[in-house]
């Protein structure tokens, strides 16, 4: 098999990159080790920055986002039961975020790629990037029992944190920076309306909680818990009771059918550089953020923006300037998003102690909620820094 850009991974990063390149006449093949049903069923976060929405819309895949996405001009932060609204639009000159599940983004992009005649090979097993230090990279993989080979000009590693592409960098050529947090999120997807029209972030003596939504009739909520929490010990009644206790009496948690319970580990991770020869990393393959700041999918979109522009410039004129600058350019925005995500995470979670640092974090949150300058900085980062 032959193509111009071989893409490993059919998450939003790989799919969006493929469709952007397709719109500019560049051929791609996507290799995905899972089946289509699994990929389209993965439940992930769904707060989109305006830049991500614009990028998806520009490639002609924004119809459902426009019709079904929930535009949010702000969100609330509750500190021990007292709520303060962060006016995103008012503090940023009209910028907003859109609530639209990553699952739906993935489905829209798969439909768009296949509808345009794109090639996605699901159930591609044992993918191995080869010869990416030369001008003739290859992707070896097994499909339907047969070992196959995809020849390409470039490889885009969009295969997530546990993927093969980052692990394929030669030893000693990549540095990894990581922070693992001493807590996790217990998440529940519930067939019930959310307690508010906008997100509520809560810091309470019992721990952090987040009240989000997938639609006006499906809520998505999270509780701070220990990393090795046993989900079997959390009955539906216990979950709803704890959500209400952390929210306080400022709103009512609506109960309903629990569609999913999950445990989300919390880590910050960055790999540098994002390039080895003609192999480029994008999305979770190169970085992970704690979900507090809602940056995961949005960082994947900005990586794709930079990488697509670089590849388009190369195929149009042979200019490799943007390809050479890709890693450094993407990492500048990645580290700013990492700073914001780590800051929000530590600010809003209760570490269960009464140390000097705990008191400082509480004082900082109280300051942020009382200062227009601090709220403006929070809002600017939340709606997304410019590409």
Q: Is residue 118, in this structure, part of any structural domain at all?
A: yes
Residue 79 in any domain: the answer is no
Residue pair 323/314 in contact by the 8 Å Cβ criterion: yes
Confirm whether 120 is domain-assigned: yes
For the chain, helix (H) and strand (E) counts, in that order, are 12, 20
For residue 157, which of 273, 322, 315 has the smallest C-alpha distance? 273
Q: What is the average per-residue pLDDT within 234-241?
A: 97
| Collapsed DSSP state (helix, strand, coil) of residue 237 | helix
Mean pLDDT over 248-263 rounds to 94
Catalytic position from the list 33, 72, 287, 349 = 72
Confidence grade of residue 352 (pLDDT, cut at 50, 70, 90): confident
Nearest alpha carbon to residue 385 among 50, 62, 20: 50
Residue 72 annotated in active site: yes
Q: Are 301 and 51 in contact (CB under 8 A)?
A: yes
Catalytic status, residue 295: yes
Domain extent at residue 283:
5-73+98-177+267-346
pLDDT, position 250? 85
CA-nearest of 281, 284, 280 to 296 is 284
Q: Determine whether 201 is an active site residue.
A: yes
Give the CA diameter of the chain.
Answer: 63
pLDDT higher than threshold 80 for residue 244: yes
| Upper half-sphere CA count for residue 244 (Cβ side, 13 Å) | 11
Q: Which candidate in 100, 201, 305, 306 is catalytic? A: 201
Residue 101, phi then psi, degrees to nearest 5: -60, 140
In angstroms, rounded to a whole number, what is the distance separating the alpha carbons of residues 246 and 253? 10
Residue 211 lies in a domain: no
> How many distinct structural domains can be found in the chain?
1
> Is 386 designated active site?
no
Is 129 labeled as catalytic in the residue annotation? no
- Domain-located, residue 69: yes
pLDDT at 42: 79
Q: What is the spatial order of strands in the sheet that 257-272 belongs to?
A: 82-86, 75-79, 200-204, 207-213, 219-225, 175-191, 257-272, 287-288
- Please state whether the peptide bond connecting residue 31 to the residue before it is cis, i.e. omega within 30 degrees of 0: no
Catalytic residue among 181, 305, 326, 382: 382
Distance of CA 384 to the CA centre of its chain: 13
Give domain status of residue 20, yes or no: yes
- Does a structural domain hold residue 283? yes
312 pLDDT higher than 90: yes
- 181 pLDDT higher than 80: yes
CATH number of the structural domain spanning residue 64? 3.50.50.60
Residue 302 confidence (pLDDT) above 80? yes
Residue 47 CA to its chain's centroid (Å): 9
323 lies in some domain:
yes
């Amino acid at each position: 098999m032959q193509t111009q850009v071989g893409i490993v991974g059919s998450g939003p990063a790989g799919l969006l990159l493929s469709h952007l390149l397709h719109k500019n006449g560049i051929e791609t093949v996507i290799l995905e080790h899972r089946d289509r049903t699994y990929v389209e069923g993965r439940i992930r976060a769904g707060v989109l920055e305006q830049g991500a929405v614009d990028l998806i819309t520009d490639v002609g895949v924004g119809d459902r986002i426009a019709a079904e996405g929930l535009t949010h001009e702000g969100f609330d932060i509750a500190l021990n039961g007292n709520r303060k609204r962060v006016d995103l639009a008012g503090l940023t000159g009209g910028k907003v975020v859109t609530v639209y599940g990553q699952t739906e983004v993935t489905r829209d992009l798969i439909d768009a790629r296949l509808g345009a005649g794109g090639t996605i090979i699901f159930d591609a097993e044992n993918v191995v990037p080869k010869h990416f230090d030369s001008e003739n990279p290859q992707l070896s993989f097994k499909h339907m029992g047969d070992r196959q080979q995809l020849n390409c000009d470039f490889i885009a590693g969009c295969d997530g944190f546990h993927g093969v592409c980052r692990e394929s960098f030669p030893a000693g050529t990549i540095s990894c920076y990581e922070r693992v947090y001493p807590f996790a999120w217990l998440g529940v997807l519930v067939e019930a309306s959310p307690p508010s029209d906008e997100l509520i972030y809560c810091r309470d003596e019992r721990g952090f909680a987040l009240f989000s939504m997938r639609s006006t009739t499906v809520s998505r909520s999270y509780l701070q818990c220990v990393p090795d929490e046993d989900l079997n010990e959390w009955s539906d009644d216990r979950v709803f009771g704890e959500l209400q206790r952390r929210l306080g009496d400022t709103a009512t948690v609506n109960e309903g059918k629990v569609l999913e319970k999950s445990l989300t580990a919390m880590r910050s991770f960055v790999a540098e550089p994002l390039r080895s020869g003609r192999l480029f990393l994008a999305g979770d393959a190169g970085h992970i953020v704690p979900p507090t700041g809602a940056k995961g999918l949005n960082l994947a979109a900005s990586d794709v923006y930079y990488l697509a522009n670089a590849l388009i410039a190369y195929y149009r004129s042979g200019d490799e300037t943007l390809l050479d600058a890709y890693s450094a350019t993407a990492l500048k925005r990645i580290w700013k998003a990492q700073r914001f995500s780590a800051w929000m995470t530590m600010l809003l979670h209760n570490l269960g102690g009464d140390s000097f640092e705990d008191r400082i974090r509480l004082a900082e949150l109280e300051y942020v909620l009382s200062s227009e300058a601090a709220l403006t900085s929070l809002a600017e980062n939340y709606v997304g820094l410019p590409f």
